[in-house]
Amino acid sequence: MCKGFAALPDSGLERAKEVGTRLGILLLKSESTGSRIERKIRIPGRSHADETIKWGESLDILLDHKRGVAAFRAFLRSEFSEENIDFWVTCEEYKNAKAGSKLPLKAQKIYDEFVKVQAPKEVNLDSRSRERVHRNMARPSPSCFDPAQKRIHGLMETDSFPRFLKSQYYLGLFKQA
C-alpha cells in the first residue's frame, strides 16, 4: 500500500492513486488553457520547483498560480471536497465578469450549484453566511458571494491547505520538478 494512503478504503485508495497519476498530466497541460483567474505570470528563469516551494507560504500564493490550483484541486478531489475550490474559482470569475443583464442569471446558477441547501456541489457554510448570500440574491452584484467565499477560503486555509502541504500530492511535485 502506498505511504500516505493507508487509511483510505480500497475504493478511496484506487481513486487517490488515479488522481495522483492524473495530477502529473494536469500540471503538464498548456499554460494557455483554463480561466483567466487560474493563469499565472511566467517569470523567466524560474523553475517549477521554486514555484511549488512558494505555494507553501500561503493559500493565496497557491491560488495565484494555475498549477497550484490544479494541484490543490486534485488533492481536494481525493478528499471529496473539490466543491470548495470550484466555488472559490467560480466566485472569482463571477466578480470579474462584465456587469450586465446576465449577472443575475450567473448569480442564480452559482447559488443553485453551491450555496442552496442540498445543492449539487453544496459548500459547507454556516447559516449566517448562507443567509447573507440569500439576501444578496435579491439584488445580485459582483460582491454578493463575498461572505460565502470568505468563509470557504477560511476553511480551506485552516483545514485543507495544511493537509495539502503534508500530502503526497504536494511533496510529489518536487520530484516532478
62-80 pLDDT per residue, tens: 999 999 999 999 999 999 9
pLDDT of residue 49: 78
Distance from C-alpha of 126 to C-alpha of 146, rounded to nearest angstrom: 14
* Higher-scoring residue by pLDDT: 103, 59: 59
Identify the weakest region by mean pLDDT among 12-26, 134-148, 156-170. Answer: 12-26
Proportion of the chain above pLDDT 70, given as a percent: 72
The verdict on 69 and 87 lying in the same domain is no
Dihedral class, residue 37 (left if φ above 0, else alpha if ψ from -120 to 50, else beta): alpha
Tell me: pLDDT of 23 over 80: no
Q: What is the CATH number for 132?
A: 1.10.167.10
CB atoms within 10 A of CB 145: 28
Claim to verify: residue 133 and residue 96 sit in the same structural domain: yes
Q: Looking at the domain assignment, is residue 109 inside a domain?
A: yes
Q: Which positions ≥6 away from 19 have C-beta within 8 Å?
A: 74, 77, 78
Q: Is residue 165 part of a domain?
A: yes
pLDDT, tens only, 79-112: 999 999 999 999 999 998 877 778 899 999 999 9
Is the distance from CB of 82 to CB of 127 less than 8 angstroms? no
Is the confidence at residue 164, as pLDDT, over 70?
Answer: yes
Q: In the chain, what is the straight-line distance between the N-terminal and C-terminal CA atoms, in Å?
A: 25
Q: Are residues 96 and 117 in the same domain?
A: yes
Q: Dig out the grid coordinates for 133 from the structure.
A: 448570500
169's grid cell: 500530492
At 51 the three-state DSSP class reads helix
